[in-house]
A and B are shown apart, each in its own frame.
Chain A
């Protein structure tokens, strides 16, 4: 379970998060939507302890994330932009991340799923954006963590890899994991997600389950629904 109370974060004069409140129950799959710069990534990074908030509290499975690092054992994170040490080989990178986390991992099926065998001995510098993202997916999914956080996971992936990723996510859902996704691609949301959280200007603007929206979604599509809700105000 992830619990966020009154989270504030500003970068200089720019207030990104303004009193964000959020609870995500275990075993739920939730999409975080919102326009560019609304604070989605900042929120996710706060949960991971990458960004240090000025005010507020975040609990992951009951443990405060402040000055704590052990809780990250329970989280797999797929960052938005894959940044790797460029002169390492793919194989070495995977080994290194395995070495850093004590939990069991199984990268082999994922490597063959995404056809990465032939890249294992290449250095990360030489890989294309899509291939890097696949490596990124392997790094996140090779651990059996109860919480998975994905920040725009489909960026740079080709349609086939995207279908594979969706299948992977569905398998993880079946295992009862808590999953957080930010994305701008509505088909991903419709296919995978139970609940939508819409962030606007650093606050939760609305939170609705997909079932609740189902009738209208069929008529005008998910984009249409969100546009309608935003116009209501």
Chain B
């Protein structure tokens, strides 16, 4: 698997997109910090950006990279290489490349601005952590969609639909159901529904960490109320971990059963 990982990182290292992605974060984090002048505010603004953008970019990169490397995969499956190493190696290669671009693009402006003395280090770290989680989750789902769909157009459409659902439609349905069921005690339902959306989970995680109740929203408030901050954080992290594990495990299972 290490060899596959090496080749996939090598391949991505030559791609311009990885650098554009890195440059984008560099620019946006730098602008928000040096023009805004407040680390906490910058973190909150960046959170709103990454919660939408990281899933979108990871989904698109994931599905495009998967379809582009089909030839590579077909060459590899006939070689004495374990099947699951091929898929996991490629998946890790892309997720790591994206996470590292994100980490560096954010980290460099924050370090230059003086993150060390701002007292916001842990908050910054939680931003990076959720960003990386989202990268790993949405890349895995995109790979899984690619593996299940030979048809590129269909796979691409499904992947975008998945992002759209999690980023936009889910919240709409969520609010709608809350309105309709207003008369009932639905806190537990609301909690349960949050777990099924990694973007919501990430938002709640950062909110709990930053402890800004005004921005926490309905579910965030319930979360804090129900679990308290510490347990809430643990539960969101566990749920996010599960969101990585399940699609990756699916990748392994489907990869082993696929015909080439």
Interchain CB contact under 8 A, A69 and B80: yes
Check A83/B3 contact, CB under 8 A, given A51-B259, A52-B257, A97-B79.
Answer: no
Contact between chains at A83 and B80 (CB < 8 Å): no
Cα separation A11 to B258 with both chains bound (whole Å): 11
Q: Is the CB of A85 within 8 A of B78?
A: no
A20 interfacial by beta-carbon distance below 8 Å = no
Q: Does B45 contact A (CB under 8 A)?
A: no
- Known contacts: A45-B260, A69-B83. The answer to whether A100 contacts B78 by CB under 8 A is no
Question: Nearest chain B CB to A158's CB is how many angstroms away?
Answer: 24
Give per-residue flags for A86-101: 1 if the beta carbon is below 8 A from chain B beta carbons, else 0: 1100000000110111
Instruction: Decide yes or no: A101 and B79 within 8 Å by CB, A45-B260, A85-B69 being known contacts.
Output: yes
Cβ-closest chain B residue relative to A81: B74
State whether the Cβ of A227 lies closer than 8 Å to any Cβ in chain B. Answer: no
Are A99 and B3 CB-contacts (below 8 A) given A69-B82, A73-B80, A85-B71? yes
- Cβ < 8 Å to A, chain B residues 44-94: 69-72, 74-83
Check: B17 CB closer than 8 A to any chain A CB: no
Judged by a CB distance under 8 angstroms, whether A199 is at the interface is no
Interface size class of B (residues with CB under 8 A): 20 to 34
Residues in A whose Cβ lies below 8 Å from that of B80: 69-73, 100-102
Contacts of A156 in B (CB 8 A): none
Chain A contributes a number of interface residues (CB within 8 A of B) equal to 26
Which A residue sits closest to B84, measured CB to CB? A69
Chain B residues in 8 Å Cβ range of A72: 78-81
Question: Complex: how many Å from CA A102 to CA B80?
Answer: 9
Once the chains are docked, how many angstroms separate the CA of A99 from the CA of B7?
Answer: 11
Whether A84 pairs with B75 at a CB distance below 8 angstroms is yes
Give the nearest-CB partner of B82 in chain A: A69
Closest to A72 in B: B80
Which of B7, B82, B257 sits near A96, CB closer than 8 Å?
A: B7
Tell me the nearest residue of chain A to B76, going by C-beta.
Answer: A100
* Also in contact, A85 and B79, with CB within 8 A (given A11-B259, A99-B3): no
Q: Which A positions have Cβ atoms within 8 angstroms of B? A: 11, 45, 48-52, 67, 69-73, 77, 79, 83-87, 96-97, 99-102
Q: A72-B81, A100-B79 are in contact. List 8 more A-B contacts (CB 8 A).
A: A52-B257, A52-B259, A73-B80, A79-B78, A83-B74, A84-B71, A87-B14, A99-B3
